[in-house]
Amino acid sequence: MTPGTHPEPDAEGNLETVITYLEMRDPPTRPAPPIPVGKIALLRAEAPTVSFYRYLYETIGEPWLWWERRVMSDQELSDIITNEAVEIYVLYVGGVPAGYVELDCRSTEEIEIAYFGLMSEFLGRGLGPYLLRWAIDQAWSHEPERVWVHTCNLDHPSALGVYQRAGFTVYDQKTEVVSDPRLR
């Protein structure tokens, strides 16, 4: 599936979404992918503004129908993204935001890679595996019992395979019906 080729909603405006949950119980032992060629910078966004976060979230997530954070009030969103235990790292390529990863470290036992993605213009350059492995290593630096992530059938068609190649294993899957975010 490519951006914009998602299934059509049913008569009530709903989409059936298959969510796959993956986990990693030990840090990866395989070597990390090489740093992509070019001017790459990875910076933590410390207490990001809501507008900057929404720019990243909406630009990266729109092709994959990310919607959860779009429906949050600015205050609800700010409470999450400015929490010291929520780490947001922005990947820059040539000085331009290219992607981001959000680690939810609010639980000491487990860390969720809550959001991970690249802007469409930066797909296919080897940045995804690099950023994902960096995020995994960063998560494990907190010494949790596990690191977990979820994806769904609306995400990039390679998402599940990328997570599995990085060392995650599926531990659960469920189907949910959600309102089509394109109709909001």
The whole-model pTM stands at 0.90
> Considering the domain boundaries, does residue 45 fall inside one?
yes
Q: How many Å apart are CA 153 and CA 121, to the nearest integer?
A: 21
Q: What is the CATH number of the domain that holds 162?
A: 3.40.630.30
pLDDT in tens, the chain (184 residues): 444 467 676 667 677 888 999 999 999 998 888 888 889 999 999 999 999 999 999 999 988 888 889 889 999 999 999 999 999 999 999 999 999 999 999 998 999 999 999 999 998 888 999 999 999 999 999 999 999 999 988 888 889 999 999 999 999 999 877 666 666 6
Q: Angle at which helices 50-61 and 74-81 pack, to 10 degrees?
A: 90
**Residue 6 maps to a domain:** no
* Burial degree of 118 (CB within 10 A; 0-12, 13-18, 19+): buried
The number of distinct structural domains making up the chain is: 1
CA atoms within 13 A on the CB side of 174: 6
- 57 in any annotated domain: yes
Range of the domain at 121: 16-27+38-179
Q: Is residue 131 part of a domain?
A: yes
